[in-house]
A and B are shown apart, each in its own frame.
Chain A
């Protein structure tokens, strides 16, 4: 018994002494370790803001910032560093961007990404020196438009956030929100708007949206910054306050679209019709709507690996002389986050206005060559089908 007590006692004493020793060491080293770790964290911040000092995290709950902002740091000189998320062709690009007190980008780097071409590694350099006013004019990289455009948008979010943190206010709505607001403003009576597949050649109309409640449609003329949203009532009369010339044009275009009908063409009468052509329609305006499919990564794969076994289905509206009026993806099962970008308007709208000689000049989906090729081949069948039906092939 005596031995047991001695054992317990000695082990307890040793443990207690060691504990005191550790506590002492911890008191000495903890502040230094903390300082080291903070310095290591700041190193990433210094990359995008070399002159920054005394970085401190900003409490994001106090501000309404663009949703892409993950973290924000302020520094002694009045500048800010933002950690942002953006999706390129793949999701989850993480971008670090520094903005100085004057609202100029001091640097931007991509910390991690799933992009395939690697442009995101160097693109940040070109945004250096940009301000909220000039960021939109920073060129994107052709062939990697999606990656660089989204990168640029993230930098823009950083610039806007810096303005907001500085007490200013900016429009931080997303493109979808801006579009919805524009549509609602053009046709206040309309509710949920959906885009209409235009299959007639319209003059000066880039898109048409129709209201779900039957209140009418919104016609968009012009592109980008110059886009004008014109509301047209269910009766085909322009309700927005616009120039007489624009009003007349839009009403004429609306009449064309309203009068347009589709007649399905019996494909069996054409012996040499490509088998990829699923359906064909002739419009009352003399144009064609062709539904085709192509083998993307889903079915073609590497000839031995077929992830989904699904074709890419495409609907193309063409003029009788083979010029694309409109193009849309009907269905696809390409790799999510890579080839699935073929379902994005940014991709398929590239075919608009192209013909058989120019349709290949589109920006491919980065990392999804098979998807892009399959898509192009589906579109090419539409050109073939029109030639056959027009009797020129």
Chain B
């Protein structure tokens, strides 16, 4: 595996390997919690916290955890951190707790977190895993914020609860609903694809090597599939 430089580990999550717009992970919370900017920001930060913590712990334990039980171990660690974050939010930011509802608990099964654990933290040292967590978490947060900004401004005529003149009287209710979410999602994916000049998608055909995460994975999943077969 080619060594990435430290800066790249941190920054790739923001755009080049953005978990939401490029890796298309964590779609469910992306659609569900982006009706308001504050909700999206809270969700992003909660996920960031869990991601960084679980990446650090999983990276630290990567030599200790046997390969056969690594997924259950990852899930236990992730679920543990999610519950901790959930309890902390319920105690200190009850309003956010109300807003996020069940999606807070569902961070456990957010594939971004398990994905980074499996793809990165399980193979890299603690420092780089933490940076990866921060980068991916920020990328997730920014993606949610971008989605939520479009949806809240157009759908509710407000930004983070503050009313925007004119728009507040001309709401596009569809934007706050699921179809609006999917539309904004699709358009933003297209925009990100344009900015990155489609490198990540066009590189290869739809194959393992064409995966945006191919650099770290190095065909690991393809091998795993082959082994199973």
Contacts and interface: CB of A to CB of B under 8 A. Distances in A.
Most chain B CB atoms below 10 A, which of A6, A11, A14, A21: A14
Given A32-B91, A33-B87, A15 B65 contact: no
Contacts of B94: 33, 36, 40
Nearest to B83: A22
B90 A22 contact: no
A11 B69 contact: yes
Contacts of B65: 10, 14
Interface stretch (B70-78, B141-149, B165-173): B70-78
A3 B76 contact: no
Nearest to B87: A29
Contacts of A29: 87-88, 90-92
B160 interface: no
Nearest to B90: A33
Nearest to A6: B66
A3 B66 contact: yes
Contacts of B88: 25, 29
B90 A14 contact: no
B73 A10 contact: yes
A14 B72 CA distance: 10
B80 A21 contact: yes
Interface string A25-45: 110110011001000100000
A25 B61 contact: no
A11 B72 CA distance: 8
A14 B92 contact: no
Contacts of B76: 11, 14-15, 18
A18 B69 contact: no
Contacts of A25: 83-84, 87-88
A14 B62 CA distance: 12
Contacts of A33: 87, 90-91, 94
A14 B76 CA distance: 7
A8 B66 CA distance: 9
Given A10-B65, A25-B88, 16 more contacts: A3-B66, A7-B66, A8-B69, A10-B64, A10-B69, A14-B77, A18-B79, A22-B87, A25-B87, A28-B91, A29-B88, A29-B90, A32-B91, A32-B92, A33-B87, A36-B94
Interface of B: 61, 64-66, 68-69, 72-73, 76-77, 79-80, 83-84, 87-88, 90-92, 94
The 9 closest A-B pairs by CB, nearest first: A18-B80, A29-B91, A32-B91, A7-B69, A29-B87, A25-B84, A7-B66, A11-B69, A36-B94
29 contacts: A3-B66, A6-B66, A7-B66, A10-B66, A10-B73, A11-B69, A11-B72, A11-B73, A14-B61, A14-B73, A14-B76, A14-B77, A18-B79, A21-B80, A21-B84, A22-B87, A25-B83, A25-B87, A26-B87, A29-B87, A29-B88, A29-B91, A32-B92, A33-B87, A33-B91, A33-B94, A36-B90, A36-B91, A36-B94
